[in-house]
Structure 1
Amino acid sequence: MELSRREFINRMGLAAGGYGLAGILPNMLTAGNVDQRKFTFELSLAQFSFASELFSGNMSMFDFPQRAVNEFGINTLEYVSGFFNNKHLDPVFMKELKSICNDLGAKNHLIMVDAENIASLDPAIRKKAVEGHYSWIDAAKYLDCDAIRVNFGDTMAALTGKAEEGTPEEVAKAAADGYNSLLEYAEKAEIHVIVENHFGYSTDPDWLIGILSQVPSSFKGLLPDFGNFCLERSKPDGADLKSLINTTCLREYDRYEGVKKMMPYSKGVSAKTHRFDAEGNDLDTDFFKMFELIKASGWSGGYVGIEYEGGLMRDLGGDQSYLPNDQGILATKKLLEKVLAELG
């Protein structure tokens, strides 16, 4: 199946503006609060690992918690805002989702929110974007999540290959303002608002850290993602999803150095994978090297989210060399368990 770029964006819930961690939680310890004799982490499962099945309609929102628990033995969940299709505003839908999770003994941990741009240079647009995130904080609170993840930049522009609307300095200033405003609301709900290295300027951890250092709230934080350090990407050959997926990274920030720099602000880790060698190691990231850096930072006891993207490359990108979603998730889980057994 092929989707146009516009269809892809719309189905992510981005075109209309919709695509952890109270205080310092016992399970989200940071440097200075960790027993250095023991390194450990808990596994969570990112909903985007099932992106191809959710996009195609072969899987529903209600299937996600059931599959996470019953198929993979993972009971901590990370949602993506776009897959709600704005039903986070529907009390009946939300009640049913929460009931399913409660019956399974599943913990709702995080909602990855891809909404309007809280770093817009236009103050009116930025204010509207901040207020547009309030409903996601409310949804996270209702589902007993610890946090939401937000972006510093225009998600839709990033997907369509458009340049940022201002210089890094201009966007950083706007991002700090929007982030501070959003945190004021989030603090009242005791929901953390964390930022991922995702696209655009945010792929530069130095830029992200510069913004976080200006924000006083204890509910701020970062979500280091192993795979999102591409500073410059090739232009897609066409407007379809397959062309977007098949672009290549032309210039990348060193992922090990990037994660190392982000860890002092980390409220979790996103362990992104795509494909594996015969021994089960990820071909893009040396997980043992990466987690040695994470361990050395003093971070321990938090959630490491499994985010397998190879299924998207296989099912919607047309490359059958990638594992299906279920096999890729299991391979990532097995690799993380091996890492923990060696480093824990």
Structure 2
Amino acid sequence: MNRRLFIKNTATAGFALHFLGSKFIPDIFSVDDTSKPFFKLSLAQWSLHDAIFSGRLDALDFPKKAKQLGFGAVEYVSQFYNKQAEDATAFKKLIGELKTQSNSEGVRNVLIMVDGEGALAAADEIERNHAVANHRKWVDAAATLGCHSIRVNLYGGPEHDTAAWKTASADGLTKLCTYAATQKLNVIVENHGGLSSNAALLSDVMQLVNLKNCGTLPDFGNFCIQRQDNGTSSNACINEYDRYKGVTEMMPFAKGVSAKSYDFDSTGNETTIDYLRMLKIVKSSGYTGHIGIEYEGQRLGEEEGIIATRELLMRVAKEIK
């Protein structure tokens, strides 16, 4: 991801810090019925990835931290628990601890974002099947936690052959969804780079799978199809799908929505994403589920960025009632 220099004392930072300083902890939906948005809010664990990777925050304490920040629902990220996931006994203990803490805090577990478990869209069927098998433990974990979904990626396959990619993607998803159905769980795909960020192609995959527990997780910001030198997220994007068109195309299949944010101007608006336009698209689809906040900026600290994103969502939601 692109990193920006951290600059203190901006108007948005001051606004966010006001809430932190006053210990703004109560449930934001408890004010009154007329103040409620059309969606529910959740906090994506990736918003706190710097704190977790640095050791300032234990990944096990994520539900407690989310509650302290005023959230009643959370979205986990598998890579923060990779070490425990290597051992079945340790993994079972981990999931039990997360369930105990989330229940204790009164926090709802919404989904697990699964990364690094193989290419579900691999051209080779053996490789796809291996990826499906790797994902099953996360299906089981999500079911134990009471989540409604796991989020997966559609990596692998020849990027130049869209027909082959769609066929392989549909096969991998169908196999995983068939298993997830036994746990009454959804499998949802995020636009997360490569051909998965081509929303028209991803919509075709959804139609090919045609299963009730298969869906999408539209992310407001992840629409780069190709980066310079075919590099990682730190490389410049040279082929980007229209984000508003993409979210519109993905919403008919959406079982979750990710509100990505990077930075804010002096009035509290996201500098690269028109949140008013995005929320109008989401609302017009009839969606009323969780919108997960996923702050990825650097200018504001993680907690300040999370709060700035929440305030923006709440303000814009009132504007489109």
1:276 equivalent to 2:264? Answer yes
SS of alignment partner, residue 189 of structure 1: coil
Deviation at 1:253, TM superposition (A): 1.1
Contact 2:37 2:314 in 1 (8 A): no
Aligned counterpart, 2:148: 146
Alignment equivalent of 1:84, drawn from 56, 81, 85:
81
Aligned counterpart, 2:101: 100
Aligned counterpart, 1:186: 180
Aligned counterpart, 2:110: 109
Aligned counterpart, 1:42: 40
Matches within 5 A, 1:291-310: 291-299=279-287, 301-310=288-297
Aligned counterpart, 1:217: 211
Alignment equivalent of 2:242, drawn from 231, 254, 258:
254
Distance of 1:215 and 1:67 partners within structure 2: 37
Distance of 2:192 and 2:126 partners within structure 1: 24
Note closer, same or farther for the CA distance 1:165–1:283 as it changes in structure 2 (3 Å cut): closer
Distance of 2:217 and 2:235 partners within structure 1: 24
Aligned counterpart, 1:172: 166
Alignment equivalent of 1:134, drawn from 120, 133, 136:
136
Deviation at 1:231, TM superposition (A): 2.0
Amino acid at match of 2:125: P
Note closer, same or farther for the CA distance 1:56–1:190 as it changes in structure 2 (3 Å cut): same
Aligned counterpart, 1:73: 70
Aligned counterpart, 2:314: 337
The CA RMSD measured in Å over matched residues stands at 1.8
Aligned counterpart, 1:324: 301
Amino acid at match of 1:111: I
SS of alignment partner, residue 98 of structure 2: helix
Amino acid at match of 1:145: C
Alignment TM-score, normalising by the size of structure 2: 0.83
Deviation at 1:54, TM superposition (A): 1.6
| Identity percentage of aligned residues | 42
Per-residue CA deviations over 1:137-187 (Å, capped at 9, x if unaligned) read 000011111100011114xxxxxxxx9466221121111111101111000
Aligned counterpart, 1:59: 57
SS of alignment partner, residue 270 of structure 1: strand
Deviation at 1:245, TM superposition (A): 5.5
1:197 equivalent to 2:200? Answer no
Deviation at 1:302, TM superposition (A): 0.6
Deviation at 1:95, TM superposition (A): 1.4
Alignment: residue pair count: 281
Distance of 1:226 and 1:263 partners within structure 2: 11
Deviation at 1:298, TM superposition (A): 2.3
Distance of 2:208 and 2:233 partners within structure 1: 35
Distance of 1:183 and 1:203 partners within structure 2: 21
Alignment TM-score, normalising by the size of structure 1: 0.78
Distance of 2:219 and 2:210 partners within structure 1: 23
Deviation at 1:236, TM superposition (A): 8.8
Per-residue CA deviations over 1:56-96 (Å, capped at 9, x if unaligned) read 222211221111101x2102110111001242442222211
